[in-house]
Amino acid sequence: MNNRIRFDYNNLMTDRLGAYGLSPAELEGAGKLAAQASQWFYAKHGAGKMDFFDLPDTDQHLKASLKLAAKCKGKYHDLVVLGIGGSALGTIAIHSALNPASYNLDKKIRQGRPRLWVLDNVDPEKLQAVLSLLKAKRTLVNLISKSGTTAETSAQFLWIRQWLIKGTGRDWSKNMVVTTDPAGGIMRQIVSREKLASLEVPSGVGGRFSVLTPVGLFPLAAAGVDIKSLLDGANQMRKTTLNENPWRNPARLYALSQYLLYQKGCRINVMMPYSDSLYLMADWFRQLWAESLGKRVDNQNQTVETGPTPIKALGATDQHSQLQLYIEGPRDKAITFLMVEKFRNDIIIPRAYPKIADISYLGGKTFGQLLTAEARATAMALAKNGRPNCSFIIPEISPRTVGQLVFLLETATAYAGGLFDINPMDQPGVEEGKRYTYGLMGRAGFENRKAEVEKFEARNSKKYIV
Ligand code: PA5
């Protein structure tokens, strides 16, 4: 089977959508802008600001991750990842795409590999609930933080370190691997001080673009994902995204069409996989698209307050939830489907009630057929109502196709940064929130941030609370 992901954008075009669509002339007309964005992308890449683009082409991280993962097999019952945002979402998405939902529950599936827990929040109730299932001696903790300063991950570190010390004594450091910047940051200092095993997040790769570094590769390999094929798939897509002909380059075409639709008022980008396994890819993409493209200033430092809003939905479930709004509500959305052509496991719907036509028509078909029919019907209903939608068609979910999808969406996001003329690699808004948190939690040097919050909250503090 041809395992190449395809991009179907028929339902974005005027041929099917009339005035609500994009015309070939519009796409052609944006050629100059697209060429500028392309030059910008390669200039940034040349300046070491787009190092994610070279990840599939290097095997350094693959080797390091495989080596460590091999040591874990049979040794640890559980692998706990501590990290947040870009340090967690990619792993969660790919694990969910490629491993069965019952992975943690079924020893036969794991074949000696550890259960995987990605703790990407600091909700104490969840943290306690997970920890109560684990034994320190049989647990490997993988702390992931590129900056090494994120308050959530640092707090998790202090908490789990104490738990490891309690459960394993002086040997606690043997049960921890830290994935962080090669040289800078507090976590790198702690690695040296405690003599912890470590992996590297390359300096030129930002958090949300880092899933193909040891950030994602190690925990995924430890959980049995074929990371070599994942990277091969990414590399296959990398070659496609190098095509300067935008009509042959799905990443550029996707970015350009989303950009043009944004200018026409479609400011919301809904990603809607028709596959439970791919649902969390939409979660990962939501962060990638939002944090990369939502910016106050453009590359000339002019205030633009721009950025499409990503939303996630699940087919067919959300046909019975959000779809009504998408079809009849404001014309502010473009929908991106993730469609699977062949499900890895399918179920034949049993035949019964031959005389009741309203149910017997389903007998003998498969659930996969039903889901595909729902996806096609939804795409059609949207298009008929002039609602732009497009599809990434995935022949079958596999490490190779998931690698392609990840790389395609990363490249499209970076390229969209060029079209929106903003820096897709920074996150100044998030950093601002982080500084207020430091202040409130008493971190030295951030006292003025605490004072600022308190002064702000004191304003009319009782007036609007009921
Ligand atoms: O994409 C990003 O840069 C962010 O989402 C980070 O991944 C997130 O804030 C966590 O940062 P760090 O890995 O430095 O702890």
For residue 425, is it within any domain? no
Q: Rounded mean pLDDT of 167-178?
A: 95
- 396 and 275 belong to one structural domain: yes
Q: Give percent above pLDDT 90 in the chain.
A: 90
Q: Does 1 have pLDDT greater than 60?
A: no
- 281 and 373 belong to one structural domain: yes
Which of 196, 228, 260 is where one domain is finished? 228
- Centre of ligand 1 to C-alpha 111, Å, is 32
Q: What is the pLDDT of residue 74?
A: 87
Q: Rounded mean pLDDT of 434-448?
A: 93
- Centre of ligand 1 to C-alpha 301, Å, is 23
Burial (CB < 10 A; 0-12, 13-18, 19+), residue 47, is: exposed
Write out the catalytic residue numbers: 291, 320, 434
Q: Tokens at residue 274, please?
A: 């028709």
- 218 and 251 belong to one structural domain: no
pLDDT band at 165 (very low <50, low <70, confident <90, very high): very high
Q: Which residues contact 214 (CB under 8 A, 6 or more apart)?
A: 61, 64, 65, 179, 199, 200, 201
- 122 and 250 belong to one structural domain: no
Residue nearest to atom 12 of ligand 1 (CA): 145
Mutating to test ligand 1, I would choose from 81, 82, 143, 150 the residue with most ligand atoms within 8 A of its C-beta, which is 150
Q: What is the domain-level CATH number for residue 145?
A: 3.40.50.10490
Distance CA 407, CA 248 (A): 16
- Is 206 near ligand 1, meaning CB less than 6 Å away? yes
Q: What is the pLDDT of residue 75?
A: 92
Beta strands 303-306 and 295-297 are antiparallel
Which of 170, 195, 228 is where one domain is finished? 228
Mutating to test ligand 1, I would choose from 51, 146, 289 the residue with most ligand atoms within 8 A of its C-beta, which is 146
Q: Rounded mean pLDDT of 390-405?
A: 98
For residue 262, is it within any domain? yes
Strand partners, 365: none
Q: What is the pLDDT of residue 224?
A: 96
- 242 and 376 belong to one structural domain: yes
For the stretch 110-125, pLDDT in tens is 999 999 999 999 999 9
- Of 262, 240, 334, 257, residue with least CA distance to 28: 257
- Centre of ligand 1 to C-alpha 149, Å, is 10
Residue nearest to atom 15 of ligand 1 (CA): 145
Q: Is 411 left (phi over 0), alpha (psi -120 to 50) or beta?
A: alpha
Q: Rounded mean pLDDT of 10-21?
A: 96
For the stretch 333-343, pLDDT in tens is 999 999 999 99
CA angle at 370 for the pair 368 and 372, rounded to the nearest 5°: 70
- Is 87 near ligand 1, meaning CB less than 6 Å away? yes
pLDDT band at 91 (very low <50, low <70, confident <90, very high): very high
3-state helix, strand, coil in the chain (%, to 5): 55, 15, 30
pLDDT band at 35 (very low <50, low <70, confident <90, very high): confident
- Centre of ligand 1 to C-alpha 207, Å, is 5
- 324 and 415 belong to one structural domain: yes
Q: What is the pLDDT of residue 357?
A: 96
For residue 1, is it within any domain? no
Rounded to two decimals, what is the model's pTM? Answer: 0.96
Residue ranges making up the domain that contains 376: 6-47+230-420
**DSSP secondary structure string for all residues of 107-141:** HHHHTTPPEEEEE-S--HHHHHHHHTT--GGGEEE
Beta strands 268-273 and 295-297 are unpaired
Write the CA distances from 279 to 92, 96, 338, 410, integer angstroms: 11, 8, 9, 17
For residue 429, is it within any domain? no
Distance CA 22, CA 15 (A): 9
- 281 and 410 belong to one structural domain: yes
Q: Which atom of ligand 1 is nearest to the CA of 83?
A: 15
For residue 93, is it within any domain? yes
For residue 459, is it within any domain? no
Element (H, E) at 59: none
Q: Which residues contact 320 (CB under 8 A, 6 or more apart)?
A: none
What's the domain count of the chain?
2
Q: Does 246 have pLDDT greater than 90?
A: no
Q: Tokens at residue 208, please?
A: 């949300």
Distance CA 1, CA 235 (A): 19
Distance CA 293, CA 282 (A): 16
Q: Which residues contact 358 (CB under 8 A, 6 or more apart)?
A: none
Q: Rounded mean pLDDT of 190-215?
A: 96
- 59 and 200 belong to one structural domain: yes
For the stretch 123-146, pLDDT in tens is 999 999 999 999 999 999 999 999
Q: Does 270 have pLDDT greater than 80?
A: yes
Q: What is the pLDDT of residue 150?
A: 92
Which of 420, 440, 461 is where one domain is finished? 420
